[in-house]
Amino acid sequence: MSFLTSFSVSGYSKSSVACALGLVYLCVVRSLRWRRYNVIHRKYAAKFAAKTLTPEEAQEVVQLSFFYDMPMLSEYSLAFALFKTYAIPTISQLLLDTKQLASSGMVARRYADTEILIATWMACPVSGRLVEAEAGSPVTDPRASIALARVNWLHSKYKISNEDFLYTLGLFTFEPTVWASRYGWRPLSPLERYASFVYWSEVGRKMNIQNIPSTAEEFEAWLLSYEEEHMVPAQSNHDVAKHTTNELLFMVPESFGLRSFFEGLTRSVLEDRVRIAMMQPVAPKYAGPVVRGTLALFAFIEGHILLPRWRPWAVVQIDLPELEVQKAPRLFPSKYTSKPWYKPRGSYLLDRLLVLVGMHDDVPRPEYKCEGYKIHELGPPRFEQEGHEQIMKMAAQLQGCPVADAWQAGKT
């Protein structure tokens, strides 16, 4: 006799038992869903009140939404923050001039490298030490410093204004708050918004960005003013947006008008000023309600029906890889672009099946670095084998001590 049948015999209907079990499950979900949130907020309540949160502590707070509560939404918020910068002509023209968008393969490579570098300094300790580590303890994880040093070295090859750097930093600071408020199962708390400002300000300082406003309110006001003056229509904005949209929608086929439908959905997410600067048509009337309704459904399921994540999710490996003597491992991301950059070879039949169903447009090959990546090699292919020793010196300056031998450039 089954469990439900025994209850039915005892005077309870199967539907009553099922409803009771469902109610218990929803209560468990609600209790567990907020547990990590409450722990973090109790831990830093006093420092938030005194506005004394350190960058390392702020990073732990930021990781709450990015790696546990709303990882996919948070990831897309940064992707669209980067997309939004393409509405600034000085930024979009530079991308076209550097030929980084000359082909679908180059777009996919740039997207993959950018995502990995940003995810690395978000997932790995920004100081190289865990939050609980004592002051002066040795650096155990140099990955964030190496990623920041690599980005700084790459940026030094181009003429980029401090204002464009500052604008991009501001979008990374505030866009996740906007997306959580619009589409998340919960908004970001005042502590999380403050932590975002502290954390990204520290990243900005490590990237040598000047004139970072001293408060979040001043920064937001500066962003608005900068957009009003510099976000204007340009053909370069349109071209870069088109290349990037094609990469974002690479899995969507042209048949039956599906690509056009999803392009309309993408435009509906953009503010009017951004859309106009990118020379994009108005989104169809159905697009906004479809996007909001779909994301609201996902938010409800994530926040009220699914159990919370027990382990963090990120594009890069969060735990420090096991290191062999004098040998840093090549690493692999947890998701891949249209071209399978850094995707290890698996079953040939499975790889072909993924191509057939549109997950990728090619199988892993050596030209896509199927052996994995090293952080100090990321970026445009022409710079792949350049600047390694200089990057390690820059990383040492960022973390305040030499990079461990196993991570040094030249170790094979």
- Give me the mean pLDDT over the 342-370 stretch: 87
**Is 59 found in the same domain as 14?**
no
> Does the pLDDT at position 411 exceed 60?
no
**Is 209 found in the same domain as 72?**
yes
> Does the pLDDT at position 10 exceed 70?
no
Residue 285 lies in a domain: yes
pLDDT value for 215: 95
Query: What confidence tens digit (pLDDT) does each residue in 378-407 have?
Result: 999 889 989 999 999 999 999 988 888 888
**Is 51 found in the same domain as 13?**
no
Q: Distances from the Cα of 371 to the Cαs of 70, 99, 111, 146, in angstroms? A: 30, 25, 18, 20
* Contacting residues for 4 by C-beta, under 8 A, at least 6 apart: 14, 17, 18
**Is 89 found in the same domain as 15?**
no
- Give me the phi and psi of 324, to 5 degrees please: -80, 165
Q: What is the pTM of this model?
A: 0.90
Residue 198 lies in a domain: yes
Identify whether the C-beta of residue 299 lies closer than 8 Å to the C-beta of residue 72. no
Q: What is the mean pLDDT of the chain?
A: 89
Q: What percent of the chain has pLDDT over 70?
A: 92
Query: What confidence tens digit (pLDDT) does each residue in 267-287 have?
Result: 999 999 999 999 999 999 999
Tokens matching residue 358: 């549109």
> Does the pLDDT at position 321 exceed 70?
yes
Residue 136 lies in a domain: no
Boundaries of domain holding 87? 44-98+158-304
Residue 332 lies in a domain: no
**Is 215 found in the same domain as 79?**
yes
pLDDT value for 20: 86
* Contacting residues for 129 by C-beta, under 8 A, at least 6 apart: 56, 137, 138, 139, 140, 141
* Helix (H), strand (E) at residue 112: helix 104-123
The 10 Å Cβ neighbour count of residue 188 is 24
Query: What confidence tens digit (pLDDT) does each residue in 93-136 have?
Result: 998 888 766 556 678 888 899 999 999 999 999 988 777 766 66
* 3-class SS of residue 129: coil
**Is 12 found in the same domain as 75?**
no
- Give me the mean pLDDT over the 25-42 stretch: 93
**Is 166 found in the same domain as 81?**
yes
Query: What confidence tens digit (pLDDT) does each residue in 223-274 have?
Result: 999 999 999 999 999 999 988 888 888 888 877 888 899 999 999 999 999 9
Identify whether the C-beta of residue 184 lies closer than 8 Å to the C-beta of residue 70. yes
pLDDT value for 139: 75
pLDDT value for 249: 85
pLDDT value for 104: 62
**Domain stop point among 304, 333, 363:** 304
Confidence class for position 412, pLDDT limits 50, 70, 90: very low
- Give me the mean pLDDT over the 313-336 stretch: 83
* Helix (H), strand (E) at residue 115: helix 104-123
How far apart CA 94 and CA 20 sit, in angstroms, is: 60
How far apart CA 134 and CA 332 sit, in angstroms, is: 31
**Domain stop point among 259, 274, 304:** 304
pLDDT value for 145: 95
Query: What confidence tens digit (pLDDT) does each residue in 46-79 have?
Result: 999 999 999 999 999 999 999 999 999 999 999 9
Residue 393 lies in a domain: no
**Is 200 found in the same domain as 52?**
yes
Confidence class for position 9, pLDDT limits 50, 70, 90: very low
List the one residue out of 317, 390, 410 whose CA is nearest residue 150. 390
**Is 52 found in the same domain as 15?**
no
Confidence class for position 137, pLDDT limits 50, 70, 90: low
Distance of CA 127 to the CA centre of its chain: 19
Query: What confidence tens digit (pLDDT) does each residue in 155-178 have?
Result: 999 999 999 999 999 999 999 999
pLDDT value for 257: 83
Residue 325 lies in a domain: no
Residue 235 lies in a domain: yes
How many domains, the chain? 2
**Is 280 found in the same domain as 235?**
yes
**Is 193 found in the same domain as 59?**
yes
> Does the pLDDT at position 11 exceed 60?
no
How far apart CA 278 and CA 91 sit, in angstroms, is: 12
Residue 345 lies in a domain: no
The counts of H helices and E strands in the chain are 18, 0
> Does the pLDDT at position 220 exceed 90?
yes
How far apart CA 186 and CA 355 sit, in angstroms, is: 36
Tokens matching residue 317: 């490996």
Tokens matching residue 206: 């490590």
Instruction: Answer with the residue of higher pLDDT: 246 or 322.
Output: 246
**Is 244 found in the same domain as 194?**
yes
**Domain stop point among 304, 326, 354:** 304
* CA angle at 191 for the pair 187 and 194, rounded to the nearest 5°: 100
